[in-house]
Amino acid sequence: MKKEKGFKRILGGCLFGLCLLFAFSAKSQQIRLDNLKEQFSVKNLVRVNGGIAANSVFYTGDNAARQPFMWVLTGNINIHLLNQFNIPFSYNLNNLGSNYTYPTLPNRLSLHPTYKWVTAHVGDVSMSFSPYTLSGHQFTGGGVELKPGNFPLKAQFMCGRLLKETEYDARNGGIVAYRRLGYGGGIRYEKENYQLGTTLFHAHDDENSLLWKPDSLQVYPQSNLAFSWDVLLRLFSGMTLKAEYGMSILTRDRRLPSGKRSNSLWFLEKNASSVYYHALKVNLDFLWKKNTFGLGYERVDPDYRSLGGYYFTNDLENFTFNYARPFWQDKITLALNLGIQRDNLDHTKREQTSRWVVAGNLNIVPNEQWNVSVAYSGFQSYTNIRSQFDYINATHQYENLDTLDFTQLSQNLSMTVNYTVSENDRKSQNLNLAFSFQEAADKRGGMIHPGSVSRFYNGSVSYALLFLPSSVRVTLSANTTYNTAGSGDMLTYGPNAGVSSKFFDKKVSAGISSSYNISSVDGKVIFKVLNVRGSSAWRFLKKHSTNLSLVYQNRSGTSGRSSSDFTTTLNYTYSF
Q: Amino acid letter at 391?
A: Y
Which run of H or of E encompasses 22? helix 2-28
Among 572, 510, 514, 512, residue whose Cα is nearest residue 543: 572
pLDDT at residue 172, rounded to an integer: 57
Question: Please, are residues 422 and 428 in contact by the beta-carbon 8 Å criterion?
Answer: yes
Give the 3-state secondary structure of residue 39: helix
* Residue at 331: amino acid letter: K
Residue 86 has what pLDDT?
73
Cα 112 to Cα 124: distance, rounded to the nearest angstrom: 11
Kindly report the three-state secondary structure assignment for every residue of 287-301.
EECCEEEEEEEEEEC
* Number of C-beta neighbours around residue 139 at 10 A: 26
pLDDT recorded at residue 450? 60
pLDDT score, position 36: 46
Give the span between the Cα atoms of 466 and 472, in whole angstroms.
Answer: 6
Q: In 3-state terms, the chain is what percent helix, strand and coil (to 5)?
A: 10, 60, 30
Per-residue buried b or exposed e for 442-465, using 16+ beta carbons within 10 Å of the residue's own CB: bbeeeeeeeebebebebbbebebb
Quote the pLDDT of residue 275: 93
Question: How high is the mean pLDDT in each 10-residue block of the chain (576 residues)?
Answer: 50 49 42 47 71 91 81 84 72 66 61 85 90 92 90 93 86 79 94 93 93 88 95 89 96 80 60 93 92 94 92 89 91 93 80 82 92 89 54 40 60 93 89 92 65 85 91 94 84 94 89 93 88 94 92 84 90 92
| CB-CB contact of 348 with 325 (8 Å) | no
Residues 466 and 498: their CA atoms lie apart, in Å, by 12
Eight-state DSSP code of residue 216: G
Report whether 187 contacts 197 (CB < 8 A): yes
Which residues, other chains included, contact 570 with Cβ-Cβ below 8 Å and sequence gap of 6+? 55, 56, 58, 546, 547, 548, 549
477: part of which helix (H) or strand (E)?
strand 472-485
Give DSSP secondary structure letters for 80-128. Answer: EETTTEEEEEEEEEE-TTTTS--SS-S-EEEE--EETTEEEEEEEEEEE
